Copies of this chain bind each other. A is one copy, B any other.
Amino acid sequence: MSEPASKHDVFQAIADPTRRRLLHLLSDQEMSVTIISGHFTMSRTAVSKHLRVLAEAGLVKDQKVGRETRYRLDPEPLLELKKWVSYYERFWENKLSSLKRFVESDDSDVMDSFPPLTVVDRNEK
């Protein structure tokens, strides 16, 4: 059932700002390569390569229509990303509450709020 995890995963695919722009563009509507690259200053070939990376990550699907290739968004792989982020949500909940504590306690000497036990932890390999 699991995909062969081809070379490019979602995390890597969205790392590049150009590719994020591409996803956003395609979220609007399906488009051909030439039309798409009309929205960028770089060459069509460069855009095409970005599209292929996205396709390998499953984030876009392509369909040949005559001599052109239409690309459309497939947001499904973003579920993995959402799931990954959701794991950390409870931590930023914690952080916000400690931030709140910090703000309420005020004072500029930040280090005072770190008790000795921070220094004393016991980690061993």
Binding site for B on A (CB under 8 A): 11-12, 14-15, 17, 20, 23-24, 27, 29-32, 35, 38, 63, 65-66, 70, 73-76, 78-79, 81-89, 91-92, 95, 118-119, 121, 123-125
Contacts and interface: CB of A to CB of B under 8 A. Distances in A.
A12 B88 CA distance: 17
Given A76-B95, A86-B124, 20 more contacts: A11-B14, A11-B17, A11-B20, A12-B15, A14-B15, A14-B84, A29-B121, A30-B121, A31-B123, A32-B123, A35-B125, A73-B88, A75-B89, A76-B92, A78-B85, A79-B92, A81-B85, A82-B85, A82-B89, A83-B124
A102 to B, nearest CB: 13
